[in-house]
Structures are given as C-alpha cells and as structure tokens.
Amino acid sequence: MTARGSHGVGLLVALVALALAVAAAPAWGASGDTHAKPQKPNASLPGPVRNGNGIVQAVRPHALVVRLLDGRTLVVPVPPRAVVLVNGARSPLAAVQPGFVVAITARGGKAVEIRASGGAPAAPKPGTVQSVSGNAVVGQQLTATTGTWQGSSPINFNITWQHCNSAVTSCSGTGKKGNSYTVAAADVGKRMRVRVEAQNSVGKSSALSDTTAVVANSSGGGGGGGNTVKVADVGPAGERLTVDKVVFNPNPVTNRSVPIRVTITVKDTKGRLVQGALVFFRSTPIVTSTPTDAPTGSDGTVTYNIQPRSDFPIKNGFSVQFFAKAYRQGDPTLSGISGTRLVQVATHKP
C-alpha cells in the first residue's frame, strides 16, 4: 500500500462505515446488539488492526463482512477490479477466509485494495504465467517477469535463462541468471525462455515462461525458417501477411483486475518474419480495452497489454474470442496484403 493510501485508509473506511450505518443499520458490538452505539475507532490499537482495519467475519461473492476492534461490523463492497493481496500474493477474493486480518483502502464507498493475512503457512504456487519481452534478435536485451505467486511471504525468486530448439522439444540452460538477458549469436535459430524458482520458509516450486519467437541475426537472418523482411518489401502480387501466432498471458484468465499480455507474431506467405506490419486486435464482443494499432518489431512480433472490463466473462469451460488483423499502412482495405485470424483465450473461475 502506498503512503498516500495508508494515510487515507482510516478516513475512507470510516466514511464507508457511516454510509452503511445510515443505509443498512448494521449490527454493532461483539454481542450483536443492534441498539449499541458505535464507538470511535481507537487510533492507538496495537498491531495491524487499527483505524478501520479489522477481522473478516464472512466472505460474500462481491463483499467482505469485517468486524472492527471497536465493535462495529461493516459490509464492504469489493468490485471485480479491486486488488486483493493474501499473505502478500495477488489473489481472488475467494482466497480471503473468515478470521483473516485485513487492511482495506476504499474509494467511493467501495474497496480498491485489500491486504489480508492469515491461514496456515503455504509453499509458493504460481498464479499468472511468467513472461519474456523484447526482440529476439542478436544483441537485443530480453526482460523476464516472475509473474504472480501465492504462498506465505516473503517469497524469494531465482530466474535462469534457457534456449530451446524451434519446436521446443529440447531446452538447455545458457548459464545466465537475472531478469534481463542479452541475446547471443549462439541463440540464433532457437527460442528463449526463463525458469522461475520461488522459495519461502515452507518450500519451493518453479515455473516456465512462454518462449520467444525464433532468434534472428541482427542483420535479419535466422528466424522462423527464413529471413526477416520489411513489410514494404512483401511481394510480388499474391503474397500476403499472416497472423502466425498469438500468445495470451495469463491463459486461462481468472481475474478481471489483471491485464492480459498478448504477443502476436506476423509472417508472410513465404514464412518470413515481417517487420513494420501494423496489427489491429480487438475482442468480439468488446469486453476488454482495445489497443492502438502498433507495428511489429524486427522479430516479427508486437505485444499489447489489454485490460478486461467489468463485463469480461470469468466462467469455467468458457473462452473469449478476439479478431486479429495484420496489414500494411497505406494499402487499400480490400485489395492489400492484409491477413486476419480469429483466436480465443480460455477463462476459469477460481
């Protein structure tokens, strides 16, 4: 929680409490006496429970019932986009359990951030998928993220880099560690990924990121079974662009508050990676933000971060469809070299 958020939490939660008291007449006091008068929050209370923070009494689909130490009981609305941290790890609201200690930041009468702690110590468990960003070209720098993890804090991470054959059937370590890596000549023709190991006082586990595009020479050779070609040079007539690959991270999507990272690879009909192709990408129907069209890099990829909207469906056995179009700027809409593709990402309700 930011300093600004921590200074404002008492006032904001107190305002929420006042509004709820007027509208819903919540029960006050540990005995459940509805006629007992509320007391002022005690700012000198020790530990994490102070100034509107409290103990979870019940968890509803979109709300928490929280008992303050001064005896008041609050029903705090929790919208889908609220940030929920359980023992320091990004989690769904359902991971909060009765008896947990919570600190709530509210805005407009609703929770925007919940920090909860409690439960038995747990070993690390991966949440969202780890990822690698950057151009897979010799001399370029790649950057890895650890993703989000569940488990008891603190969690320590160790990132190691691997390169794999193009089919990702054989991978080996590069000997490099850390969240950044400079692509080497020995990586040409291979795909890069990271292995993230997480460890805390209870145990450890590991997870692998998705792989990059096939590494190309800085001069343009090597990737995807052919050279990288600039979109202006795609031709002659009859050749087109293709949306070769679309990777979603996370997949499946389990939380509307977590952005979805989408990496799109564009090739031509000769199998060459294409640099400078513009990519249009949108959900159908529109249940996420729509990014501004951006060009592919020298590795033939472009990456967007899209935000699910409140109506983004989180259901088991369900998928959300997206329309992708790769095109060359200035081409006629109907007679250009554009290529389109429908793709989808799975959703899962935790």
For 137-179, write each residue's pLDDT tens digit.
888 889 888 888 877 777 899 999 999 988 888 999 999 999 9
Q: Where are the domains positioned within the chain?
A: 3-117, 121-226, 228-350
Domain 3-117: give its CATH architecture.
Beta Barrel (2.40)
Nearest to 136 by CA among 69, 217, 81, 71: 217
Domain 228-350: give its CATH architecture.
Sandwich (2.60)
Q: Bridge partners of 160? A: 177, 195
Q: How far apart are CA 255 and CA 273, in angstroms?
A: 33
What residue type is assigned to position 343 of the chain? Answer: V
Answer for the pair 155, 126: CB distance below 8 angstroms, yes or no.
no
At 183-192, the pLDDT tens digits run 998 998 888 9
Answer for the pair 324, 273: CB distance below 8 angstroms, yes or no.
no
Inform me whether the pLDDT recorded for 336 exceeds 60.
yes
On the question of a common fold for 3-117 and 121-226, the answer reads no
What pLDDT is recorded for position 137?
A: 85
At 231-279, the pLDDT tens digits run 988 876 668 899 999 999 998 999 999 999 999 999 988 888 999 999 9
For residue 69, what pLDDT band results from cuts at 50, 70 and 90?
low
The CATH number, out of the four listed (2.60.40.2700, 1.10.3720.10, 3.40.1280.10, 3.40.50.720), of the domain defined by the range 121-226: 2.60.40.2700
DSSP notation for 77-117:
E--TT-EEEETTEE--GGG--TT-EEEEEEETTEEEEEEEE
What pLDDT is recorded for position 247?
A: 93
Answer for the pair 34, 28: CB distance below 8 angstroms, yes or no.
yes
What pLDDT is recorded for position 182?
A: 92
Q: How far apart are CA 10 and CA 211, in angstroms?
A: 45
Average pLDDT over residues 199-207: 87
Q: How far apart are CA 98 and CA 119, in angstroms?
A: 10
Inform me whether the pLDDT recorded for 37 exceeds 50.
no
Q: How far apart are CA 84 and CA 152, in angstroms?
A: 15
